[in-house]
Amino acid sequence: MIKEMREQLIYKYGINDKVLDLYEKALNDVKNQFEFLDEIREFNQLKVLNAMQEERISESHFTNSSGYGYGDIGRDSLDKVYARIFNAESALVRPHFVNGTHALGAALFGVLRPGDTMLSVCGEPYDTLHGVIGINKEEHIGSLKEFGVNYKQIEFTQDGKPDLKKIKETLEKDETIKLVHIQRSTGYGWRRALFISDIEDIIKCVKNVREHIVCFVDNCYGEFIDKVEPTDVGADLVAGSLIKNIGGGIAPAGGYIAGKKDYVEQASYRLTIPGIGGECGATFGVMRSMYQGLFFAPHVSMEALKGAIFCARIMELSGFEVLPKYNEKRSDIIQAIKFNDKEKLIEFCKGIQIGSPVDSFVQCEPWAMPGYDDKVIMAAGAFVQGASIELSADAPIRDPYIAYLQGGLTFDHAKIGILVALSRILK
Ligand SMILES: *Cc1c(COP(=O)(O)O)cnc(C)c1O
């Protein structure tokens, strides 16, 4: 860090020498981790470039349709570009998905029918899916449960691995299981993300029992962290959010689904309606941003990952338990930090907000967010509201007070934001 930078950080944010020394040490420790990430990034950039070239993307694809949106070639070609990147038969990429939960929900409602059973093999799914599935709630109007879709879940083994033996047994016993739900990222849990190889093991195990069971992956936060995606190792269907990795920080909203043609089509009937599917939907001039964001995504995802790795090291050096550790392999961009202290957790999140380019002057507070059971604090001073590919930290307010940090359009910003946040709790 140059002298001028140090002076500015002390003057502007009151960051003390102790924190700045931790910065130097942490940065030095993590450097060696980055070479590998740069190679993955390079490869994924090539993958995106190739897909755009194969589909002959040009200015005319940056369409601005209205009304029904028939024949929107920008929209239809982006589906094909995504399908190539995911090595999948088909994809549905839409600004009309209001978030990742909506895309995941459309996929689940698309595939599952009354009497079918959905089996989660990663324990409890991400919080916002509870309402979709209809678990742990007296009120579940409109949920899969209300439509007569059953739900079961299998926990991880003691050492945090998918319980393949239990999965096999459960599938053999229950013929109604139609879909296996695999969540790649940690969500608000204290576990590492599933590697592509774990996902492959699960899929092999499932397909060995019954070939036609749909292997569905919640791919949120996982895109471009590895050189392959779950669809490369046999996933039938994946879904995610465009204001996370794959939107590159540029896409203004949306979600995607990719996989087998029939399943993607069934999901499209839940985004719109049977008979219409993906053939309608005006795109209101957002296609250029969706293409450009995708183009940036391999780079931006790795900037975010570097931020997470740096965060892991500096927080660990500051005496906090982190998951994963800085030198452990990763499969998503999430960094969990255990505070064991409500005030420290809230202060840390407030610090991330104060270190943001947008809304840096506001104090974020825990609130009862739609879709979550506990109060949640979310620091996201982002250009796109709530975009967690931008530097952000969020936490459900519950013991043991774990913050989940992710994003950072630039590694430099991630470092500064984390310094500001840390200095608030090391005063
Ligand atoms: C972010 C996320 C989702 C979807 O959340 P949205 O806020 O609706 O986009 C689903 N699953 C996981 C694991 C996630 O991280």
* Phi, psi of 394, deg, nearest 5: -140, 160
pLDDT of residue 423: 96
CA pair distance 67, 50, nearest whole angstrom: 32
pLDDT reported for residue 136: 73
Would you state the pLDDT for residue 371? 73
Q: Report domain 60-294's class.
A: alpha beta
Q: Residue ranges of the domains in the chain? A: 3-43+297-425, 60-294
Which tens digits make up the pLDDT trace of 394-421?
Answer: 999 999 999 999 999 999 999 999 999 9
From the CA of 103, how far away is ligand 1's center (Å)?
10
pLDDT at 64: 87
221 CA closest ligand 1 atom index: 15
Pocket flag, ligand 1, residue 183 (CB < 6 Å): yes
pLDDT digits (tens, 9 = 90+) for 5-46: 999 999 999 998 999 999 999 999 999 999 999 999 999 999
User: Does ligand 1 have an atom closer than 6 angstroms to the CB of 392?
Assistant: no
Confirm or reject: Cβ of 100 under 6 Å from ligand 1: yes
Q: Could you give the angle at the alpha carbon of 135 between the alpha carbons of 132 and 139, nearest 5°?
A: 80
The span from the CA of 259 to the CA of 341, in Å, is: 42
CATH superfamily of 3-43+297-425: Methioning gamme-lyase, C-terminal domain (3.90.1150.60)
The predicted structure's pLDDT at residue 292:
98
* Any atom of ligand 1 within 6 Å of the Cβ of 218: yes
Dihedral over Cα of 142, 143, 146, 147: its sign: positive
Q: Give the C-alpha separation, 78 to 91, whole Å.
A: 9
Q: How far from 363 is each of 12, 126, 377, CA to CA, in Å?
A: 17, 26, 11
Nearest C-alpha to atom 2 of ligand 1 is from which residue? 220
pLDDT for 374 = 86
| pLDDT at site 369 | 82
Q: Is 256 in the pocket of ligand 1 (CB under 6 A)?
A: no
Number of the ligand 1 atom closest to the C-alpha atom of 102: 8
The parts of the chain modelled with pLDDT lower than 70 are: 137-139
pLDDT of residue 427: 74
**Cβ 219 under 6 angstroms from ligand 1:** no
Q: How far, in Å, from the CA of 212 to the mean position of ligand 1?
A: 26
Cβ neighbours, 10 Å, residue 291: 22
The token pair that represents 243 in the structure block? 């204001």
Nearest 5°: the CA angle 388, 218, 233 is: 120
Q: Which positions ≥6 away from 345 have C-beta within 8 Å?
A: 339, 377, 395, 397, 401, 402, 403
- Here the tokens at position 287 are 């296609």
For 116-145, give the DSSP string.
Answer: -EEEESSSSPPTTHHHHHT-S-S--TTSTT
Q: CB-side exposure of 419: number of CA atoms within 13 Å? A: 28
Ligand 1 atom nearest residue 218's Cα: 11
What single-letter amino acid sits at 291? Answer: Y
pLDDT reported for residue 309: 98
Res 370: pLDDT: 79
| Cβ count near 135 (within 10 Å) | 17
Contact by Cβ (8 Å): 87, 232: yes
Q: What is the dihedral of CA 258, 47, 99, 127, to 10 degrees?
A: 80
Please name the residue ranges forming H helices in 232-323: 261-271, 287-317
